[in-house]
Amino acid sequence: MSNLLHLDSSARRQSFSRELSARYADAWTGTRTYRDLAADPVPVIGEAWTEICDALLTAGITDPAHYADVVETPAQRKAWAVVEPLLAELLEADVVLIGAPMYNFSIPAALKTWIDQVTFPRMSLRGKAFVIAGARGGTYAPGTPRAPFDHHERYLRDFFAGHYDVDDVRFVHAELTNALVDPHLAARDGERAASREAALAAL
């Protein structure tokens, strides 16, 4: 049976990215693992984590099943205790679903911290699929004036392809969400609603 790892990273309990990711997750027919990275933040990496990375490079270890072989010191064991369950969830997943709003042209810090914790040298996740349910206050679609500032989809796409060697990455975005609260975007609320409906339908 296929396994879904579902991550949410929005600081808002009621958010567009959570609504979108929930739509996909609710239709999933296999097993599911859920983690709310905003409500239960993953700690940032520390020096012991970097020591584990260095040891893996020195030993030439690329198989996650042997990562723990290089963990030696008390500090490294403490760091590994954080990594191990997160990494196990990722490795067991066939599909990784991420609710990821755009914050300041990029991804939430909570999501970046999770990525840092579960990413090691020359680590391949080829064969897995990633689905990103995104939300943006404005519009960053190709051809729009703000498209060059999209370091949200671009970062995730480049990272998953460049580091994890994953070529199955799908993005669905709700655009112009700030039209609900920003008077300067009020005239574009119809576009916001249409974008939301299209995203929900796609998921």
Residue 16 labeled ligand binder: yes
Instruction: Give the count of beta carbons closer than 10 Å to the beta carbon of residue 43.
Output: 11
What letter represents residue 6's amino acid? H
Residue 123 labeled ligand binder: no
Closest CA to 10 of 134, 174, 158, 169: 134
Residue 171 labeled ligand binder: no
> What is the CATH T-level fold of the domain 3-202, as seen in this structure?
Rossmann fold (3.40.50)
Report d(CA 165, CA 62) in Å as an integer: 13
Confidence of residue 74 (pLDDT cuts 50, 70, 90): very high
What letter represents residue 5's amino acid? L
pLDDT tens profile 106-133: 999 999 999 999 999 999 999 999 999 9
The chain-wide mean pLDDT, for the chain, equals 96
pLDDT tens profile 33-55: 999 999 999 999 999 999 999 99
pLDDT tens profile 169-179: 999 999 999 99
User: What's residue 123's pLDDT?
Assistant: 94
Residue 17 labeled ligand binder: yes
Residue 1 labeled ligand binder: no
Q: Any idea what the Cα angle at residue 134 is, between residues 26 and 175, rounded to 5°?
A: 115
User: What's residue 85's pLDDT?
Assistant: 98
pLDDT for residue 1 is more than 80? no
Is-contact 165 120, C-beta < 8 A? no
pLDDT for residue 20 is more than 80? yes
Domain coordinates in residue numbering, the chain: 3-202
Q: Any idea what the Cα angle at residue 95 is, between residues 66 and 61, rounded to 5°?
A: 15
Q: Tell me the CA distances in angstroms from 2 to 5, 6, 64, 98, 203, one per residue in order.
A: 10, 13, 20, 17, 18
Residue 155 labeled ligand binder: no
Residue 159 labeled ligand binder: no
